Amino acid sequence: MEKTQAKKRIEQLKKSINHYRYAYHVLDKSLISDEALDSLKKELFDLEQQFPDLVTSDSPTQRIGGKPLKEFKKVHHEAPMISFNDAFSREDMRAWLTRLENYLGRPLRYTDKTFYCELKIDGLAIEFIYENSVLVQCSTRGNGFIGEDITQNIKTVEAVPLRLKETDKKYKLPSRLIVRGEVFLSKKEFERINKEQEAKGAKVYANPRNIAAGSVRQLDPKVIASRKLDSFQYDIIGDLGQQYHENEHEALKSFGCKINPHNKAVASLEDIFEFHDYWAKNREELDYEIDGIVVIINDNREYKEGGVIGKAPRAGIAFKFSPREATTIIEGIKLQIGRTGVLTPVAELRSVEVGGITISHATLHNYDEIQRLGLKIGDTVVVSRAGDVIPQVTKVLKELRTGKEKDFKMPSVCSVDGSKVIKDGVAYRCSNKNCGARQREYLYHFVSKGAFDIDGMGPKIIDRFLDEGLIGDAADIFSLKEGDIKLLERFGEKSAENIVEEIQLKKKILLPRFIYSLGIIHVGEETAILLSDRLQKEKGKVSAPAEVWNFLNHISINELQEIPDVGPKVAVSIYNYFHDTRHHDLINKFNKAGILLEMPPKIKNEKLKNKIFVLTGSLKSMSRSDAKEKIRLLGGEATESVSKKTSYVVAGSDPGSKLAQANKLGVKVIGEKDFIKLLD
């Protein structure tokens, strides 16, 4: 993105994020999910990384969160309670480590305990102060510098020790100890409280954190006592001589604090990924909500050396689980035709990760849905994915428009066959009843053995891709992404990967196979070879599909009939195909997709020049297609039907009606032995 464009986008993002935060924190209205909001913040963060001079102090990436409420006494934190920047992918994590090492000016001191990984609990960060081992003050994070004194409320949380003790000689309890940790609500408690609320006809909470946040700020401590909050401690402010962050957890445990048993020190980024992925898969087994992991440089000296940038330490990061919602941009809308001719609009998205996989398509259901959403091409939208289904566009963020967005209109004619499009209830359909079914037949042909030969992509899978809107035409096959395929049931990670690999591999195709793949009426494998030969004779080598179009678009019906095996009917069919703009569009799409044409092997010599063969029956020494290939390599031609132009009919065992035809026309008939002699 250019800088002026980035600047505009940054301004819009800041406004939009502030709007949603204000609604959430002040008006108590959730207009957008936390995940979608995170996605916007991430986009802002990335743009600011790219253009650091565009970072302003009022950017949402520079602040920590909620203002202190008036009702509670203010507490100045001795050390600011900062929070971590977020990473959402392995690339983000690698970028984080690179930034840190660049800042340090050297690689980290790698050991088997380089990083400390903790579960990131979706609760509230709290500071606990102990004096002479007694809990004297608890406060919220507030804006990071000033929080609220909620000591009385936190004292009702049983997991928080009111008095600390020394149990391990290694860790001496200082007279004043500042501890930080998380207060949260278990899933079980969350359900219990919501059931109670429902029975009372009172407000039902959206998530456990909302209840925890509401509870610790209750002015009546009895209310909080009735809600069984839980807590883990994870940080010590100040120096107990601990060399590693890990030691702080040990020390806290020895003092009687509750620490999370799943946290662990690891050696490398790979280990971090493993820890992250394990908990992303197994988070449901925990009785509390986690939304990612926190990764901290374990060595406290290195951690300190990293310092703070904006609101966050350089040497720590929150590696979030992949959200089930994200924001992205609608790059286009294409129509998918169903078997019965119904046209379904499908959004083409700027690739985005949702629920752990990268997707580039989302269904829009029907035209009414596009209007209901008020969606335009170019819009920033929220996409969400529930379970293993194709993602949906759930919201348009209209405030992020630039004015360049385009309306989508249903076309008046079908893009597949040019028939009129008619409205039928909420649906639009092609007026040709057979259009959808025919297109399917064509795509089955396109990936079949004689054509692109895409292994593993049978009719069932083609149907699936069409039904889900992943492909609209043959060229779309080449832009399928692993994530798109993975979405579909029955597709394990492996087979999605295999199919994408196979498709990429098959982008190189022999010219005659490519011509055959186009599904031109009356053009079988033989005729495709003859067309290919003609093209090759005229043009030499061609490599791009557009060159095929240019040649066949300029050839007359008469010229086509000079090609052996091409009668008037076939010539007209070829001519019509290459004079239809819809086919021109398709061939241009093949070009863009990077289809690369290869020439069939060179002709060895011209021993069989001007000799036309017809094969009938089966040969003992070679397959029929091998025989045709051999004829071709010697400059001869193999055709399907016997005519006066035919030089030889080769009769194998069980010859068919072609033999009778040859006898009738007086064409020379030879057996396998004589045929082999001709080839020598």
Residues recognised as catalytic: 120
Q: How many other β-carbons are positioned within 10 Å of the β-carbon of residue 195?
A: 11
Backbone angles phi, psi at 653, to 5 degrees: -75, 155
CB of 126 or CB of 414, closer to Zn ion: 414
- Selected binder of Zn ion within 414, 480, 496, 509 (CB under 5 A): 414
Token digits of residue 45: 């963060």
Distance CA 613, CA 38 (A): 69
Sign of CA dihedral 370, 374, 380, 383: negative
Regarding 430 and contact with Zn ion (CB under 5 A), the answer is yes
Minimum distance of Zn ion from residue 290's CB (angstroms): 50
Half-sphere exposure of 17 (CA within 13 A, CB side): 25
Contacts of residue 500, defined as CB under 8 A and 6 or more positions apart, other chains included, come to 480, 481, 482, 485
Mark the segment that binds Zn ion (CB under 5 A) among 63-71, 201-209, 243-251, 422-430.
422-430
Contacts of residue 625, defined as CB under 8 A and 6 or more positions apart, other chains included, come to none
Report the amino acid identity of residue 658: K
Backbone angles phi, psi at 250, to 5 degrees: -60, -45
Q: Kindly determine how many residues on this chain lie close enough to bind Zn ion according to the rule CB under 5 A.
A: 7
CB of 123 or CB of 338, closer to Zn ion: 338
Minimum distance of Zn ion from residue 333's CB (angstroms): 17
Mark the segment that binds Zn ion (CB under 5 A) among 49-57, 91-99, 435-443, 494-502.
435-443
CB of 51 or CB of 442, closer to Zn ion: 442
Minimum distance of Zn ion from residue 345's CB (angstroms): 15
Distance CA 633, CA 529 (A): 12
- Selected binder of Zn ion within 218, 392, 419, 553 (CB under 5 A): 419
CB of 92 or CB of 417, closer to Zn ion: 417
Minimum distance of Zn ion from residue 442's CB (angstroms): 12
Minimum distance of Zn ion from residue 428's CB (angstroms): 11
CB of 97 or CB of 343, closer to Zn ion: 343
Mark the segment that binds Zn ion (CB under 5 A) among 74-82, 145-153, 233-241, 434-442.
434-442
Distance CA 282, CA 271 (A): 16
Distance CA 483, CA 320 (A): 19
Token digits of residue 326: 């994200």
CB crowding 225-243: b at 16 or more within 10 Å, else e: bebbbbbbbbbbeeeeebe
- The three-state secondary structure class of 354 is strand
Strand ranges for 342-466 from DSSP E: 342-354, 357-363, 380-384, 392-396, 421-424, 427-430
Mark the segment that binds Zn ion (CB under 5 A) among 84-92, 311-319, 429-437, 560-568.
429-437
Minimum distance of Zn ion from residue 363's CB (angstroms): 20
Mark the segment that binds Zn ion (CB under 5 A) among 146-154, 377-385, 400-408, 423-431.
423-431
Contacts with Zn ion in 519-578 (CB under 5 A)? none
CB of 212 or CB of 335, closer to Zn ion: 335
Distance CA 295, CA 298 (A): 9
- The three-state secondary structure class of 634 is coil
CB of 251 or CB of 430, closer to Zn ion: 430
Minimum distance of Zn ion from residue 415's CB (angstroms): 8
Regarding 417 and contact with Zn ion (CB under 5 A), the answer is yes
Regarding 435 and contact with Zn ion (CB under 5 A), the answer is yes
Binding site for Zn ion (CB under 5 A): 414, 416-417, 419, 430, 432, 435
